[in-house]
Amino acid sequence: MSEVLRRYAANPDTSTIHSKGLDVLGWLERPSTQPDDEYLVSAPVSPALIGLTQLMHYVVMCRTLDLTPGQVRSHFVAATGHSQGIISAAVIAASSSWESFYQNAERGLGLLFWLGTRAQQVYPATTLNPVILQDSLNHNEGTPSPMLAITHLRYADVVQHVELTNSHLPEDRRISIALVNGPRSCVCTGPPQSLYGLNLRLRKLKAPSGADQSRIPFSKRHLKISTRFLPVTVPFHSVYLKAATDLIAQDIEKYQLRFDGMDLAIPLLATDTGADLRDHSNISLEMIAQTCNRTAYWVKSTAVPDVTHILDFGPGGVSGIGSLTNRNKEGTGVRIVFAGALTGTRKNISYKPALFDSRPESVQYSPDWSRDFRPQLVRTTCDDQLHIETRMSRLLGKPPLMVAGMTPSTVSSKFVAAVLNS
């Protein structure tokens, strides 16, 4: 699969943008030839490297279990991916044998290669104002880039701040929300200087680092939000890459990179709606449009009923999308398995070795709060009466009702006494 990327990077149409090539196997065999990090995280290189890593984790799992890709796939109810990860998911969903897997992997890597390459061609890197760069670095917010991650701020509030920022910008410099990763986790996209303006607005709302706000009224506290520029070089999931989508459509036909809905044995869930993509005749173009131009809603993509485990093949490990998915799924009975991480310290998450343990008793499940803590009706033998049972009532032997009785109470003590006596 490495050879596929090396050949694409040597294409006369792209050799200038891939100035250091894309010979992954050569880099591994001769570490001294490996390019610098700036080159590796650039859009023409990074998507293909991430996709290759995801697919290799899947190969390792299948080979270790001595199963074909189709046999492993039969245990999945659906496949999806975060942003560009949907292309790797399509490879898995379409592969029934080793032969078909490697054919589909070549198509998937081709899509990822042209995705990053065309995106960079239509959105060339620009030089940052040194003052802006230094200011962001001084506040530990990273180097200003076309994508800004915002956490611990509600989606509705992010929308409001984006709209306020755009009200001061010309139409061709405006920003938008690229990824909605969770209720309080978003990524905005657009020109780096415009995102810097949004970041300045949010910085005014942040609580100072290490500040103790315990004695400040809640309504007057600064927000504990976090903002950081992502190490990317193009504004994915935005209108700025519309021209890239048109170019990649031509590449799909030229290099025969089309995935057809008929090829998929399991649902492939869209990043923007969570809908099954098998009804599309040209899934490749649909995935490109989702990654280049549309906002991704990760909660919708992972809203699959009756799922017990989600496997994350990404290279991010505990810092990747798996941890974010784990927060979204907390208390729902869904356990995240880091298929790309050998070890970890978090006990509420499983790691790669769990995939290779065939003992039924070794399978770990996450708690489902709606099942484990739901009230139940029970009939007591002493009086043959129905009672509401919860974990609290079973522990205390009292009705499942708690009344705050602190002193001084926030309401009249007579009111508290009346509630207790009622």
Same domain membership, residue 331 and residue 250: no
Helix (H) or strand (E) holding 187: strand 185-189
* Each residue's pLDDT tens digit, 370-419: 988 888 888 888 888 888 888 888 888 877 777 776 666 567 778 878 88
What mean pLDDT do residues 273-277 have? 94
Same domain membership, residue 407 and residue 279: no
Domain count, the chain: 4
Same domain membership, residue 212 and residue 265: no
Same domain membership, residue 48 and residue 179: no
Same domain membership, residue 363 and residue 380: no
What mean pLDDT do residues 155-164 have? 96
Same domain membership, residue 96 and residue 65: yes
Q: Is the pLDDT of residue 117 over 90?
A: yes
**Greater confidence, 340 or 404?**
340
Picking from 353, 370, 387, the residue at the C-terminal end of a domain is: 370
Instruction: Evaluate whether residue 234 is within a structural domain.
Output: no
Picking from 370, 387, 406, the residue at the C-terminal end of a domain is: 370
Place of tokens 């499940």: 365
Instruction: Evaluate whether residue 177 is within a structural domain.
Output: yes
What's residue 351's pLDDT? Answer: 92
Q: What is the CATH classification number for the domain harbouring 114?
A: 3.40.366.10
Same domain membership, residue 119 and residue 25: yes
Same domain membership, residue 35 and residue 114: yes
What mean pLDDT do residues 316-340 have? 91
What's residue 228's pLDDT? Answer: 95
Rounded CA Rg of the chain:
25
What mean pLDDT do residues 281-294 have? 94
338 phi and psi angles, rounded to 5 deg: -80, 95
Picking from 208, 229, 250, the residue at the C-terminal end of a domain is: 229
What's residue 407's pLDDT? Answer: 62
Burial, 376: exposed, middle or buried (Cβ in 10 Å; 0-12, 13-18, 19+)?
A: exposed
388 phi and psi angles, rounded to 5 deg: -85, 125
Look at residues 52, 55, 48, 57 and name the one whose alpha carbon lies nearest to residue 21. Answer: 48
Instruction: Evaluate whether residue 112 is within a structural domain.
Output: yes
Q: Are 174 and 190 in contact (CB under 8 A)?
A: yes
Lowest-pLDDT range, 140-154, 299-313, 341-355, 395-409?
A: 395-409
Same domain membership, residue 221 and residue 168: yes
User: Rounded distance, CA 275 to CA 287, Å?
Assistant: 12
Same domain membership, residue 168 and residue 99: no
What's residue 210's pLDDT? Answer: 67
The overall average pLDDT reported for the chain is 91
Same domain membership, residue 94 and residue 153: no
Look at residues 397, 377, 379 and name the one whose alpha carbon lies nearest to residue 388. Answer: 377
Q: Are 122 and 247 in contact (CB under 8 A)?
A: yes
Reported residue count of the chain is: 422
* Each residue's pLDDT tens digit, 182-221: 999 999 999 999 999 999 999 988 877 767 776 777 667 7
Output the pTM of the full model.
Answer: 0.88
User: Rounded distance, CA 368 to CA 411, Å?
Assistant: 35
Q: Is the pLDDT of residue 269 over 70?
A: yes
Which range marks the domain in which residue 150 is found?
A: 130-229
What's residue 108's pLDDT? Answer: 96
Same domain membership, residue 147 and residue 287: no
